[in-house]
Amino acid sequence: MSKKYKFKSILEANILKRYNNATGRTMDLQSPQTFNEKIHWASLYAKDHQRFKITDKYLVKSFVEDKIGKKHVIKCLGLYNSWDEINFDNLPNQFVMKATLSCNENIIVTNKNDFDLKEAERKFNIWLKDDAIIKSKILIEQYLENENQDLYDYKFFCFGGKVHYIMFVANRKGEVHRIFFDTKWQRQDFTYNSEIKNIDIDKPDNLDEMIDIAEILAKDFVHVRVDLYRLNNGDIKFGEMTFYSMGGNALWNPPIMDFKMGQFFDIEPLKIKLVNQFENRKVIFFSQVYNAEQTIENAYKSLQNQTEENWIWHVVDNASSDNTYKLLKEYEAKDSRIILHRNRNKNVIMEGNSLADIALNYNEDDYFAILEADGEYAPTFIEESKIAAISDNVNLVITGVALTNLNKNISLPACILLGNLHKLNFFTQYYNFCGVKGGKLFLNKVLLQSNVANDFSEVDELANIDFCMNILNKSENSVRIPSILYKQNLPNLQWRPNLVEDIINFYEKSIKYVAKNNLDFIQVLTFDFISDTLNALFVADIDIFQKHKELLKIGNSTITNDIIVNQNLGYSLNKHDILNIKRENLFKETATWMLNQPNIEDDIVLEFAQIGQIFCASAQWEEGWIKFRILHANALLELGKNMVLEGENELEEALKL
C-alpha cells in the first residue's frame, strides 16, 4: 500500500483568500467535498499538457476536429500575436474576437462600421499582457446567432465522461438566463449566480446527438464542462471546454447544490496520479569527487538516511590519489543504488562520466540533485522537495542551505516563480542560494536542455553560480521552500586556468539574462569576483609574464569598463559609498602592484601602461597616473628607437642588393 503523502501547493493560501473575497465563504482544499473546492483543487493539482491544449481556444479546435469532425468547429478567420497584425479590411462585417487563454475576454462585433477599434485595442492590450506566464493570442472567428443577436449556449456538465446536467444560457445582453436541465430535459430547481427562473425552454430535437458529442469530448476526464451551440437550422457547433466553471467561485442556489455537484466529481483518480508521480519518478544524485576520504562517508550517510529510499547515486572519482576510490568501492559493494565511475586522469572526463552523459540514461521526468564531496543532505530532502515539485508542478525546487564554514544559513519564505519575467525579477533572491550546487532538485528535462559543463572539477563559487543560473534559465517555473535541507562549505575563489575568461563570460551572460533592474546587482557581484580574482592572481604560482597577460584581460574587459564608468555602482543596494571606497582601493592596489613589476615584455608594455593609467584614474591616484604616463612615453621612445634601428638595418640591406 502506498505511503500517504500530503501534497500542498504554495498557492493554496492565496486561492483560499481570493475565494473568500469573491464569495464570502471558506474552503477546505486538503479534504475537498464541494464542487467549488474540487474545481480549485484540480486547478492546483491536475495540470498537464492535454488540459492546456483543451483550454486554449485555438489549439482545442484540432482536438475537437479529431474527435467529432470538422463540421462542428466554428470557422477561424485569423490568429494573431498582437493587435497590429490584424487587417480589419479583410474581415467580414460581423465576427467574434477572443483571447485564446482567457475566460470572458471576448468582443462580439455585429457591425464592423460601428466597431470601437480603440476601445477594443485597449482591452486586448490588457488581455495579452506581456508579463503573463503564457501569453494569449487573438483569435477571430465566424459570427453566429440564433435570433436578436443572441446565441443559445448549452453547457454540459460531465463527470467521468458522462453528462449529468445541462445548463441553458441565453439573453446575455440582459438578465442572463441560467437554467439547468437533466439529460431528459427536466428542468431542475437550482442554478448559480442568479435567481431560479421558471422559464420553459423547448427541448432541442437533436439533444441526444448533443449529449453524445459532449460525452465523446469528455471521455478522458473526471470532470469537464463542454459548451455547445445549436443553431436554428439544427447545426451543432463546439464552443469551448473548461475544467474550471466560474473559476470555482460559483454561488450555487440553493447552496447545498455546491456539495451535491461535488459528489459527482471524483478526484480520487487525480490523487492517485499524484502519488504515482511521486513513487515512480527517480531521484538521481550526481557527485564528482577528488581526494575526499575525510568527507565522503558523511556525504554517503546523508543519502542512506533519506526518509524516501528511491534514489540512485552516480559518483565519479576524479582520479583521487588518496583512499576515496577504495571507500567508494566498498560502498558500492554493499549498496546497489550506487553507480561508481572513475576518470583515469584528473579532470579528463571519460565518456559516460559527465553529468550530461548520465542524464541521457533517465526519463525526462526523473529528478536530479548535486551532492558535493563535503556536502550533506537532511534526511527529508527527497520527501520535502519532491512533494513540493509535484504539488506545484514545477521543474526546479530550491531548498534552504547551510554554509558551514561561514556559519550562515540561507533560507527565505516559500515562493513560487512562474515564467521568465518572474524569475528575472526575483534573481537577487535566487542568487543567495547559488553559491553551492546542492540543495536543488530539478527535472532531468531541464538538465537535458541545459548547456552544463562536462565536468565538475571547478567547485568554486563562480562555477556554482554559473551552473545554477543555467538550471534556472531552462526551468519553466520553480518553487522555493524554507526548509534547510543541504549543508556544505562555501568554496573560495582560487586561481585556476580560464578563471578570467569565466568571469567575463559570466558577466556578459548575466546582463543578457537578468532583468534591467538587477543590472546593478550583477555589476556589484562581478566586481567582487574581479576583486577576489586579482588577489588570487597576485599570489598565484604561475609565470610572471602570464600574470601580466591575465591582468590585461581583466583591464580590457567589458565588466571592468562598466565598473569604472558606473558612478552609481551599488546605489540600488545601498552600498554606493562602501563600494566607491572599495573600488578606489582595489584599483590603487592593483596599479601599485603593476608599478612594482621589474620587467614587462615589449609586446605588451604600451597596453600595460594604458591599463595602469585607467586604474589610477578610477582610483583618483594622480601620482600613479603620472608614473604610468612616463612608462608609456618611455615605451614609445624605445619603440621609436627600435623602429629607427630596424629601418636603418632594412635600408642597409636593401642598398647592398
For 29-75, how does the pLDDT look when each residue is reduced to its tens digit (9 = 90+)?
Answer: 999 999 999 999 999 998 776 787 888 999 999 999 999 999 999 99
Pairwise CA distance, residues 167 & 199, whole Å: 13
Cβ distance 483 to 384 under 8 Å? yes
Per-residue pLDDT tens over the stretch 431-446: 888 889 999 999 999 9
Task: Please list the residues that pair with 397 across neighbouring strands.
Answer: 441, 479
- Phi and psi (nearest 5°) for 185? 65, 35
Query: What is the bridge-based pairing of β-strands 396-403 and 440-443?
Result: antiparallel
The answer to whether residues 515 and 427 touch, using CB atoms and an 8 Å cutoff, is yes
Does the pLDDT of residue 508 top 60, yes or no? yes
Would the pLDDT of 3 be above 70? no
The predicted structure's pLDDT at residue 455:
56
**Average pLDDT, stretch 267-285?**
95
Q: Is 369 strand, coil or helix?
A: strand
pLDDT, greater one: 592 or 55: 592
Beta strands in 186-233 (DSSP E): 191-192, 223-230
Q: What is the pLDDT of residues 119-154, one digit of tens each?
A: 999 999 888 875 556 778 999 999 999 887 888 999
Residues 196 and 189 sit within 8 Å (Cβ to Cβ) = yes
Calpha distance 214→156 (Å, rounded): 7
pLDDT at position 118: 93
Q: Summarize the confidence of residues 579-602 as an average pLDDT.
A: 93
Q: What is the mean pLDDT of residues 545-550?
A: 94
Q: Which residue has the higher pLDDT, 517 or 197?
A: 197
Identify which has the larger pLDDT, 649 or 162: 162
- pLDDT of 655: 72
Across residues 209-219, what is the average pLDDT?
A: 97
* pLDDT above 90 for 170: no
Q: For 117, left (φ over 0), alpha (ψ -120 to 50), or beta?
A: alpha
Element (H, E) at 179: strand 177-181
Residues facing residue 252 across a β-bridge: 192
State mean pLDDT over 477-483: 93
Give CA–CA dist 386/280, Å, rounded. Answer: 11
- 254 preceded by a cis bond (ω within 30 of 0): yes
- Cell numbers 474552503 label which residue? 27
Grid cell locating 620: 583618483
Q: In the predicted model, is pLDDT for residue 541 greater than 70?
A: yes
Lowest-confidence pick of 198-212, 274-288, 490-504: 490-504
* Residues β-bridged to residue 341: 316
Q: What is the Cα–Cα distance from 11 to 414, expressed in whole angstroms?
A: 10
Output the pLDDT for position 1.
33
* Mean pLDDT for the stretch of residues 540-545: 92
Four-CA torsion 314, 318, 323, 326, nearest 10 degrees: 40
The pLDDT value recorded for residue 421 is 63
Q: Which pLDDT belongs to residue 269?
A: 93
Tens-place pLDDT, residues 73-98: 999 999 999 999 999 999 999 999 99
Q: Which residues contact 527 (CB under 8 A, 6 or more apart)?
A: 559, 563, 569, 579, 583
Nine-digit cell at 167?
445548463
197 confidence band (pLDDT: 50, 70, 90): confident
Q: Which residue has the higher pLDDT, 421 or 604?
A: 604
pLDDT for 58: 94
Burial of 99 (C-beta count, 10 Å sphere; 0-12/13-18/19+) = buried
All three cell numbers of 10, joined, read: 504554495
Average pLDDT over residues 93-116: 90
CA distances from 631 to 290, 456, 546, 595 (A): 46, 43, 20, 9
Whether residue 442 contacts residue 396, with contact meaning beta carbons closer than 8 Å, is answered with yes
Q: Averaged over 362-370, what is the pLDDT?
A: 96
Cell of 11: 498557492
Rounded percentage of the chain residues whose pLDDT exceeds 90: 68
Percentages of the chain per state (helix, strand, coil), in multiples of 5? 45, 20, 35
Inform me whether the pLDDT recorded for 454 exceeds 60: no
C-alpha cell at 466: 554559473
Per the CB < 8 A criterion, the answer to whether 621 and 591 are in contact is yes
CB-side exposure of 180: number of CA atoms within 13 Å? Answer: 19
pTM exceeds cut of 0.95: no
Is 114's pLDDT higher than 60? yes
Q: Please give the average per-residue pLDDT across 363-373, as a whole number.
A: 96
Over 90: is that where the pLDDT of 470 sits? no
Cα(207)–Cα(189) distance, integer angstroms: 20
